[in-house]
Amino acid sequence: MPDPVTVARSVVAYHATDPASVYIAMAARTSLAPPDVLDKALYDDRTLVRMLGMRRTMFVVPVEFVQVVYRACTEAVAATERRRTLKMITDGGIDDAKSWLASAQQATVDVLRERGEATTRELGMEVPQLRTEIVYAAGTKYEAKASLAPRVLFQLGADGVVVRGRPVKSWVSNYRWALVETWLPDGVPDVSAAEAEQELARSWLAAFGPGTVADLKWWTGWTLGRARRVLAALDAIEVTLDGGETGYVLPEDAAPVEAVEPWVAFLPALDPTVMGWAMAGRHWYLSDNVRPAVYDRNGNIGPTVWWDGRIVGAWAQRTDGTIAYRLLDDIGADGERAVEQRAAEVQAWLGDVRVTPRFRTPLEKELSA
């Protein structure tokens, strides 16, 4: 059975916008290994780290890959977010936003250095600046008054100063914060920006190739020119995809692959596989009759049922723990039996834990009712 770190490497990183998706994605690829296997890698061995990465999205990455993601993607995201944070502070009526932010961040770091780990609420009790309230999205329907604590901590995370540590309760709850210097006392291997770009693109091609330039651009959040430049530096091989598009693979992946036995999987919302290609690049595993049922209005994909390499339906967990699913393609009697069995296995694996996707699709809502 592959371990959670090996699985993470095989898909580059776990998509972690939704905390539960990391665990379900791991379970789907490890013969339903229990959640504490992933907890051990995240919080005891610390061979996996939760961080902001590609497209300003949360990921769980192998520790040796932290600086690759940071140099290739997060560093630029952090700079953009810092400008946004300073504007929020200024618009909130605070003079000299740079000094205010620097002071709030240093005070937060000092408390974490003393305490080790703390929640946002606990930090707010000890750092007065974090309790400062401003009006967000003034003049819009989203206008609301809230403290600056989440924004200050988000910026510290984007800057690579703090890390999301142990959850407060279960694996689907919020996390405590810790300093990177104490959470990872041995540090992480450093790389140059150019090395990081190539390693990230190489890992993406190994996991998701063949893929197009547009796929790599979307997945990384890079510009089109940057994606093209990095692919050229890798000596990636051009291949013709179904439909006539040009795709790319690594030189060592150009040979045909052997067919595998039919398989079934229940993947979580925003699984790393379903998020591996740009929206237009997902047609090969997603038929036209399935697509509208598994996405929300913003293009976020919900929990999916896979059979033999393609999405054939959707699933959800009801309040009593039952796993409900609906097949949207004909997969034959053997496929239906395999799906029914896997639904029972996932239900037993989740047990008393209740999971609601952060981005809910209409079909997921219907199935969970």
Q: What total of structural domains would you count in the chain?
A: 3
Q: For position 170, what pLDDT does the model report?
A: 81
Q: For position 169, what pLDDT does the model report?
A: 83
Q: Is residue 8 domain-shared with residue 133, that is, in the same domain?
A: yes
Task: Report, as an integer, the average pLDDT of 127-135.
Answer: 93
Domain end point (choices 257, 282, 301): 257
Q: Is residue 155 domain-shared with residue 233, that is, in the same domain?
A: no
- List pLDDT tens digits, range 265-279: 999 999 999 999 998
- Chain mean position to CA 362: 22
Q: Is residue 300 domain-shared with residue 327, that is, in the same domain?
A: yes
Q: For position 336, what pLDDT does the model report?
A: 97
pTM above 0.95, yes or no: no
Q: Is residue 237 domain-shared with residue 315, that is, in the same domain?
A: no
CB 3 within 8 A of CB 30: yes
Q: Is residue 6 domain-shared with residue 63, that is, in the same domain?
A: yes
Nearest residue to 15 (alpha-carbon basis) of 61, 75, 64, 72: 61
Q: Is residue 14 domain-shared with residue 145, that is, in the same domain?
A: yes
Average pLDDT, the chain: 94
Q: For position 173, what pLDDT does the model report?
A: 76
Q: Is residue 186 domain-shared with residue 104, that is, in the same domain?
A: yes
Q: If pLDDT is split at 50, 70 and 90, which confidence band does 297 have?
A: confident
pLDDT surpassing 90 at residue 181: yes
Q: Is residue 242 domain-shared with residue 349, that is, in the same domain?
A: no
Q: For position 171, what pLDDT does the model report?
A: 82
Percent of the chain with pLDDT over 90: 82
Considering Cα of 66, then 67, then 71, then 72, what sign does the dihedral take? negative
Question: What span, in angstroms and rounded, lies between the C-alpha atoms of 224 and 215?
Answer: 10
Q: Is residue 83 domain-shared with residue 159, that is, in the same domain?
A: yes
CATH number reported for the structural domain that contains residue 238 in this entry: 1.10.10.10
Domain end point (choices 191, 208, 239): 191
- List pLDDT tens digits, range 304-320: 999 999 999 999 999 99
Q: For position 137, what pLDDT does the model report?
A: 78
Q: Is residue 346 domain-shared with residue 211, that is, in the same domain?
A: no
pLDDT surpassing 80 at residue 172: no
Q: Is residue 140 domain-shared with residue 285, that is, in the same domain?
A: no
What is the domain range of residue 344? 264-368
Domain end point (choices 150, 171, 191): 191
